[in-house]
Amino acid sequence: MFEQLEKINTPPKPFEFYTASDLWTDEYTSEQMLQFNLDEESNAASSNAAFIDQTVEWIASRFNIKAGTKIADFGCGPGLYATRLAQRHANVTGIDFSTKSVQYARQVAESKGLSIQYVSQNYLDFETDERFRLILMTRCNFCALSPTQRKKMLTKFHTFLEPNGSVLVDVYSLTAFEQREEKAIYETNLHDGFWSPNKYYVFLNSFKYEKEKVVLNKYAIIEAGRTRTVYNWSQCFSVETLGKEFGGCGLAVEGLYSDVSGSPFDPEGEEFAVVAKKL
């Protein structure tokens, strides 16, 4: 037991483990994530409906979205942005790891008579011959990726963009990093049964990596029949470090905002968004 507790409470190397499939492809937890996404009043998974409406309004204006504008939404979830953009007659492709979310998004598109291409796939593996005017990656999805994965993703973005095409991404800031605290929690059925329909115990450890500006929430989930560990990584950025990563992949940051709705940039905010253009 002591050795198990030592293992649970020991931080791994930054981004040493990648467990996205435990959230997005597991039958039970992917259904929980879908329900969180569909809660229009909550910001637990997706942003609330009012914020999404405001964001789409700004995106349509900022990027001159018109009939036929090609947009790719990486991490589209149940299509909350894709649906609204398609209703403005954009040509939208949504990519998401969660089969349940994509199935729901397709049903919504069909019910509304919208032609949206949805791909159920880890976006790190997505390939296409399509070229897009705009690529979206919201809800700080970019922060969950390792440096190697981020480089791969940005290289794909550069390839997938039309000449002078743009990327809109939001990330956690260094303010967010400073405000996070290391902690250790032990709780029965943590998050009200989110992890399993059966009784379970969770050891939640939050670790901070000062040099790398990374935060990890490490969940050790123990059920009667299985034990698993889920790693939720969050890279935090300065404007300079994010700009350097984009620039190294042929993308130049041309706009800074507090969020993806176009709010004025706040250097003390916990998140910020960037618009980058293909060079």
Residue 129 domain-assigned (yes or no): yes
pLDDT in tens, 197-239: 999 999 999 999 999 999 999 999 999 999 999 999 999 999 9
DSSP 123: G
Domain count, the chain: 2
Pairing of strands 132-137, 117-120: unpaired
Backbone angles phi, psi at 43, to 5 degrees: -110, 20
What's the rounded mean pLDDT across residues 87-107? 95
Residue 51 domain-assigned (yes or no): yes
Is the separation of the CB atoms in 123 and 75 below 8 Å?
yes
Amino acid at 94: G
Assess whether pLDDT exceeds 70 at residue 44: no
Q: Is 44 helix (H, G, I), strand (E, B) or coil?
A: coil
Alpha-carbon distance of 169 to 207, in angstroms, equals 25
Percent of the chain with pLDDT over 70: 97
- Judge if 186 and 259 occupy the same domain: no
What's the rounded mean pLDDT across residues 158-172? 97
In DSSP terms, 186 is beta-bridged to: 203
- Judge if 209 and 111 occupy the same domain: no
Q: Where is pLDDT greater, at 40 or 121?
A: 121
Residue 61 domain-assigned (yes or no): yes
- Judge if 122 and 258 occupy the same domain: yes
Q: Where is pLDDT greater, at 162 or 24?
A: 162
Residue 19 domain-assigned (yes or no): no
Position 41 scores a pLDDT of: 64
What's the rounded mean pLDDT across residues 116-139? 97
- Judge if 52 and 71 occupy the same domain: yes
Position 211 scores a pLDDT of: 98
Assess whether pLDDT exceeds 60 at residue 32: yes
Position 88 scores a pLDDT of: 96
- Judge if 167 and 61 occupy the same domain: yes
Helix-then-strand count for the chain, H and E: 10, 11
Position 33 scores a pLDDT of: 84
What CATH number should be reported for the domain holding residue 207? 2.20.25
Position 267 scores a pLDDT of: 96
What is the span of the domain harbouring residue 68? 27-172+237-278
- Judge if 230 and 244 occupy the same domain: no
Backbone angles phi, psi at 64, to 5 degrees: 50, 55
Residue 122 tokens read as 């880890």
Give the least confident one: 40-49, 194-203, 237-246: 40-49
Mean pLDDT (the chain, rounded): 94
* DSSP string for residues in 137-197: E-TTGGGGS-HHHHHHHHHHHHHHEEEEEEEEEEEEEHHHHHH---EEEEEETHHHHTS-S
Residue 131 domain-assigned (yes or no): yes
What's the rounded mean pLDDT across residues 143-161? 98
Position 57 scores a pLDDT of: 97
What's the rounded mean pLDDT across residues 140-153? 98
- Judge if 190 and 114 occupy the same domain: no
Position 46 scores a pLDDT of: 58
Assess whether pLDDT exceeds 80 at residue 147: yes
Q: Is 226 helix (H, G, I), strand (E, B) or coil?
A: coil
Residue 17 domain-assigned (yes or no): no
- Judge if 7 and 36 occupy the same domain: no
- Judge if 230 and 241 occupy the same domain: no
Question: What is the helix (H) or strand (E) element at residue 90, kind and residue range?
Answer: none
Domain boundary among 234, 252, 267: 234
- Judge if 265 and 213 occupy the same domain: no
Residue 76 domain-assigned (yes or no): yes
- Judge if 100 and 141 occupy the same domain: yes
Alpha-carbon distance of 24 to 5, in angstroms, equals 27
Residue 102 domain-assigned (yes or no): yes
What's the rounded mean pLDDT across residues 255-260? 97
Position 40 scores a pLDDT of: 66
Assess whether pLDDT exceeds 60 at residue 43: no
- Judge if 48 and 182 occupy the same domain: no
